[in-house]
Structure 1
Amino acid sequence: MAIDLEEEYDKIYRYCYFHVREQYLAEDITQETFLRYFKRAPQINHGSRTAYLYTIARNLCTDYFRRTGTEELTEEKAEAVSGTERPMEGLEDSMDLKEALKTLTVEQQELLMLRYAQELNVSEAARILGISRFAFYRREKEALKVLKLKLEGGDAQ
Structure 2
Amino acid sequence: MAFEFLKRRLVARDIQALEELFNQFHETVYKSAYFITHDRMLAEDVVQNTFLKAYDKIDQLKDSSRVESWLIQIAVNQARDEIRRRHRQAWSQEEAHLPGPPEELPEFQVVAREEHAVISAAIDGLAAEYQDVILLKYQFEMTTKRIAETLNIPEGTVKTRLRKARAILESVLRESGFAEQKVEGG
Do both proteins adopt the same fold according to a TM-score greater than 0.5, normalized to the shorter chain? yes
For structure 2, list consecutive stretches of 5 or more residues without a partner in the other structure: 4-19, 99-110
Deviation at 1:111, TM superposition (A): 2.4
Higher relative contact order (CA 8 A, sep 6+): 1
Q: Is the 2:66–2:150 contact (alpha carbons within 8 Å) kept by the matching residues of 1?
A: no
Structure 2 letter corresponding to 1:82: E
For residue 48 of structure 1, the aligned residue among 66, 81, 102 is: 66
8 Å CA contact 1:104–1:143 kept in 2: the answer is: no
Superposed displacement of residue 142, structure 1: 4.7
Alignment CA distance shift 1:154-1:24 (3 Å): closer
CA–CA separation in structure 2 for the residues paired with 1:111 and 1:61: 15
- Aligned equivalent of 1:32: 49
Deviation at residue 137 of structure 1 after TM alignment: 0.7
Deviation track 1:11-45 (CA, whole Å, cap 9, x = no partner) reads 21121112222211110110110121122224412
Confirm whether residue 21 of structure 1 aligns to residue 38 of structure 2.
Answer: yes
Matched position secondary structure for 1:82: helix
Whether contact under 8 Å (1:48, 1:124) holds in the other structure is: no
Instruction: Give the number of equivalent residue pairs.
Output: 139
Distance in 2 (CA, whole Å) between partners of 1:39 and 1:29 is 15
Percent identical residues:
22
Using the alignment, how far apart are the partners of 2:38 and 2:121 within structure 1?
Answer: 17
Query: Which residue does 2:81 correspond to in 1?
Result: 63
TM-score using structure 2 length: 0.53
Higher Cα Rg, which structure: 2
Contact in 1 for aligned 2:38/2:93 (Cα 8 Å): no
Q: TM-score, normalised by structure 1?
A: 0.61
Give the distance between the partners of 1:79 and 1:25, measured in 2 at CA.
Answer: 11
Q: In the aligned structure 1, how far is the partner of 2:76 from the partner of 2:50? A: 9
Does structure 2 conserve the Cα–Cα contact (< 8 Å) formed by 1:115 and 1:125? yes
State the Cα RMSD in Å: 4.2
Alpha-carbon contact 2:92-2:120 (below 8 Å) kept: no
Residue 96 of structure 2 aligns with which residue? 83
